[in-house]
Amino acid sequence: MHICEGVEHNHIQRAERIAIKVGSSLLINSKTGELNRGWFDAFIKDVAALRQAGKEVIIISSGAVALGRRTLGVVPDADRPDKTEASACAAVGQIELAHAYQDALKDYNIPVGLILITTQNTEIRSMYLNLRDTTDTLLAANAIPVVNENDAVSDRDDCYGDNDRLAARIAGMANADLLILFSDIDGLYTDNPRRNPDAKFISIVDDISDDIHAMASGAGSNVGSGGMATKLLAAVIARSAGCDMIITNGTVLHPLERVINGGKLTYFPAGDAAKTARKHWIIGTPEPNGSVVIDKGAVKALHSGSSLLPIGIKSVSGTFVRGDCVSVFDEKHNEIARGLAGYDSDEVFKILGRHTKDISKLLGYIRKGEFIHRNDLALYE
């Protein structure tokens, strides 16, 4: 696949970090329960081409339960889904799925990291930050994170149920620029095009209104769990995190190459409103849990768009834990910013004024170099 300029859709070219959701209906042959090898190999070739072009890629992959059913000989009963059987199938199938990604990407010298999550990992702040740091670290090491819901341990009250919404959560958590959801049709239509030949295709959706939601229909596959309705919910989540999203036909060979070369798709632009809202939320925290004073060099760095590193911190006050909101003051004690702490207050006492390379020696471990990541920082005007 060649990433070329001047095509009709340049969403992938603009994006630096791309999350891609792959559903069971694409990965798994519904008749045999085996991996759809021809499609999978073509998709992996597309992914490798993105990596070669300098893109960071995160894959949110379904398919574990379906693969496990074949191995264990479990026949799914649509009328009476057995959660225990599904969990057992996921436990077996997840190993097969992980090996498939690992073996395929090994041919392109691309490492793979497997991340299995539950809703707690994206809802509890400390777990959310650990998940984000793990993802960032894998990407910095030129690896591809493959993410799936941990169906082997999730219960009905602690699961997403479909990987469309999970993909949107992961894309937002990872600060992805673009989320790609594959479907079995080209995108969003005014009605189900299989039933209504007069249904009109919608190429761009700026506002996900009630009318837009009404256009979606239910799941169309006996393998996957998502449909157009869940994809629209995913679009709401992704856009609220500042991430663009597209829905496109994934059933063709080389589906990413098709998008790059101008293939049909529905585009959901996020715009800047979501990122602005996040900054307002951070600034609007009524009672920060603590504060730090930073030097002139750090003040200059923050205004140029950098993260706040421990070396720029002169003092710390208050008691806070990782993920809490803290105030940032300059040396004249003017509050210039607020942000979400990357370390506990007792850890900051040990590492303030020190280089990032010294953190592991001082603490015995290192999470991330930044005390406040630039995406978690809101500067006052």
pLDDT at 199: 85
Question: What residues have CB less than 8 Å from 247, skipping those under 6 apart?
Answer: 181, 183, 187, 188, 228, 231, 235, 265, 266, 268
Confidence of residue 218 (pLDDT cuts 50, 70, 90): very low
The pLDDT of residue 219 is above 90: no
Whole-model pTM: value is 0.78
- Pick the more confident residue, 216 or 172: 172
- Averaged over 234-244, what is the pLDDT? 86
pLDDT at 240: 80
Q: Which long-range contacts (CB under 8 A, 24 or more apart) does 356-362 make?
A: 356/309, 356/310, 356/311, 359/310
pLDDT at 272: 66
The pLDDT of residue 224 is above 60: no
State how far the Cα of 117 lies from the Cα of 40, in Å rounded to an integer. 23
Q: Is 188 exposed, middle or buried (0-12, 13-18, 19+ CB in 10 A)?
A: buried
One-letter amino acid at 117 equals I
